[in-house]
Amino acid sequence: MDEVQRLAAGAVGHVLNGRSLDAELRAVSGRPTLTAQDRGALQDISYGTLRFLGQLDAILDRLLQRPPKDSRIRDLLRVALFQLVHTRAAPHAIVDHAVRACVLLSSPAAKGLVNAVLRNFLRQRESLIKEAQQTDVGRYSHPQWWIDKLREQDPEHAEAILENANRHPPLTLRVNARRGSVEAYLARLESEGLAARALGGSAVVLERPVPVERLPGFAQGDVSVQDASAQYAAPLLDVQPGSRVLDACAAPGGKTAHILEIVDADVVALDNDPARLERVQSNLTRLHLNAQVVCGDAALPAAWWDGVAYDRILADVPCSASGVVRRHPDIKWLRRPDDIARFAARQSEILDALWQPLAIDGKLLYVTCSVFREENHEQIERFLARHRDARHLTLPGPHTNAQQLAGRILPDEQHDGFFYALLQKA
């Protein structure tokens, strides 16, 4: 476990220096010395430390008289504190492993500091956790600018959004309608000893997450992993049989596949990243579906559009991903305040460009996984002001609350935060 702690500390440190957590874990988790159990622990500890980083730093600030000379030691303390606060591992074992990890970090002189800080925490555990709650960052484990922005833009829901962002995400599946029903798949899960329930549409949520290898029929294309909020896209796009459809920012292909699972259509899956397009094709192959996969920038249709108008366009645009923080806790520490304006500018560019190849009376579904207004409602308001031939349609289908009716899906126990706007070319 001391090696796992060392690697987790390194992953956290690299994230705080600007590297994505998934990229860092891919770089280290393939080491032959790590068992499957080690890799699972490495992922859980790295994700958990970043999920609760604000709280852990608030505690550390009360335990450390001055920052360690080696920043890696602070990362190691963060990792060990996460284990002590949020896991059931034996406290003495966590401390012992952390002390030994100092040697692996080539900092044996730090063993005394690490031991003293962690044992001091154990002596003052309850009071230190309570004190950490006194600051916004310590309470919500988000950057202060993020907290302030949500309070300004949505005071009614800000606290719930922040708290839900620190929950463990559920494992939600999308049943391939071409290969079976939700009811039949629930029965298959039950036969495998996996408790699950239907969420509506093609969505099924498991009571406890499991590796995809344990999901019956996954390799055969019977089911895919996709959050319940993301599963709104294909039905909302209202694709008709034989329609010409563009999925303009397609990778990794979940929404492309969902469209094809529910209707026979001529679908083009576009993305500007060749490596991510390989994932799109891989997902389509697994699901026994066909689409034309094209590499290109959605904002530059002249480079890839063949001149034939599209009846439907799905614009799942690049965004801050502030609505999926529970799945990617590194996002909240990687983002900077000026990133939101940069994403909004890129979204405007893509929207304007995609309006060109949309057919008259055609529909464009704008999608983000953001909770910030600049990327959502304000983006659509600006677009409608620029394009007098655009109509903002009421979203079709059932809705569980007024927020969803307005296109906004707030993060909750079963949903990531999403925004949808359906536009028609008049």
Name 385's Cβ contacts closer than 8 Å, sequence gap at least 6: none
User: Residue 200: which domain range?
Assistant: 174-225
Cα separation, 293 vs 247, in Å, equals: 10
- Judge whether 222 and 173 are in contact, CB under 8 Å: no
* Domain match, 86 and 179 both: no
Q: What are the residues facing 175 on neighbouring strands?
A: 223
* Domain match, 112 and 235 both: no
- Judge whether 60 and 74 are in contact, CB under 8 Å: yes
User: Which residue of the set 102, 249, 319, 369 is catalytic?
Assistant: 369
Cα radius of gyration rounded to whole Å, the chain: 23
pLDDT of residue 224: 97
* Domain match, 43 and 99 both: yes
Residue 243: what residue type?
Answer: S
Cα separation, 423 vs 404, in Å, equals: 16
* Domain match, 206 and 285 both: no
Four-residue CA torsion sign, 19, 21, 26, 27: positive
**End position of a domain, from candidates 225, 253, 285:** 225
CATH number of the domain residue 249 falls in: 3.40.50.150
* Domain match, 275 and 185 both: no
Cα separation, 163 vs 142, in Å, equals: 10
- Which two structure tokens, joined as six digits, stand for 338? 């000026």
For 135, list phi and psi in degrees, rounded to 5. -105, 155
Q: What end-to-end distance do the CA atoms of the chain give, in Å?
A: 62
Helix or strand (DSSP H, E) at 414 = none
* Domain match, 308 and 208 both: no
Specify if 160 maps to a domain. Answer: no
* Domain match, 342 and 268 both: yes
- Which two structure tokens, joined as six digits, stand for 123? 């002596």
* Domain match, 240 and 220 both: no
For 31, list phi and psi in degrees, rounded to 5. -60, 135
Q: How many CA atoms lie within 13 A of 302 on its CB side?
A: 1
* Domain match, 214 and 253 both: no
Domain total of the chain:
3
- pTM for the model: 0.93
* Domain match, 188 and 336 both: no
pLDDT of residue 402: 43
* Domain match, 249 and 337 both: yes
Helix or strand (DSSP H, E) at 397 = none
* Listed residue (144, 115, 123, 116) closest to 57, CA to CA: 144
- Judge whether 210 and 194 are in contact, CB under 8 Å: yes
* Domain match, 243 and 199 both: no
Residue 319 falls in the annotated catalytic set: no
Residue written as tokens 């579906």? 289
pLDDT of residue 54: 97
Specify if 147 maps to a domain. Answer: no
Tens of pLDDT, residue by residue, the chain (426 residues): 888 999 999 999 999 999 999 999 988 877 888 888 889 899 999 999 999 999 999 999 999 988 888 889 999 999 999 999 999 999 999 999 999 999 888 888 889 999 999 999 999 999 999 999 999 999 999 999 999 999 999 999 999 999 999 999 999 999 999 999 999 999 999 999 999 999 999 999 999 999 999 999 999 999 999 999 999 999 999 999 999 999 999 999 999 999 999 999 999 999 999 999 999 999 999 999 999 999 999 999 999 999 999 999 999 999 999 999 999 999 999 999 999 999 999 999 999 999 999 999 999 999 999 999 999 999 999 999 999 999 999 887 655 544 555 789 999 999 999 999 999 999
CATH number of the domain residue 103 falls in: 1.10.940.10
